[in-house]
Amino acid sequence: MTERRVDIVKLPAMRVASALGFGEEPELKASGMMSDFIKQAGIAVDFTETRMYGFDNPSPSPGSPHYGYEFWLPVNQSVEAIDPIQIKQFPGGTYATTRFTGLSNIGRVWKELVAWVEDSPFAFACGQCLEKNDTPLESDPEKWTFDLYVAVSES
């Protein structure tokens, strides 16, 4: 395994708009739902500064092409839910995070991050694992830059 840089960060509590897609390409479904919501709610989002977080929900199952993916967009107190978008509270927490480029690398890098935590002075904590694409306007998935987050606590 290559030596991977991992940082420990504190994510703040956030109020988020949540879009949940399910099917063979749930990321596209959830992304479309969030885009529609942003337009309907009249939210000004600058994706050069604002980032959405995402995660599998539910995770893929062996033998099924269907799974879920949920996107979270941080929003202020004035934003209200518009069906099917829900408003949720994320409590924040301590996370181990790593950065990489290229969508095709995501599975390998998740495994490397988990292995890093297992061999670190930290323990896995209760908290949502997250993915954040820092290049949402880039059209080539192999040029996307991601941050992966796994909740940790000091063991």
For residue 103, give the nearest of 154, 27, 21, 10 by alpha carbon. Answer: 27
pLDDT of residue 2: 57
Ranges of each domain in the chain: 7-154
Residue pair 40/82 in contact (Cβ under 8 Å)? The answer is yes
If DSSP codes are grouped into helix, strand and coil, which group holds residue 146?
A: strand
Architecture in CATH for domain 7-154: Alpha-Beta Barrel (3.20)
pLDDT of residue 1: 47
Prediction pTM value: 0.92
Residue numbers of the chain with a pLDDT score lower than 50: 1
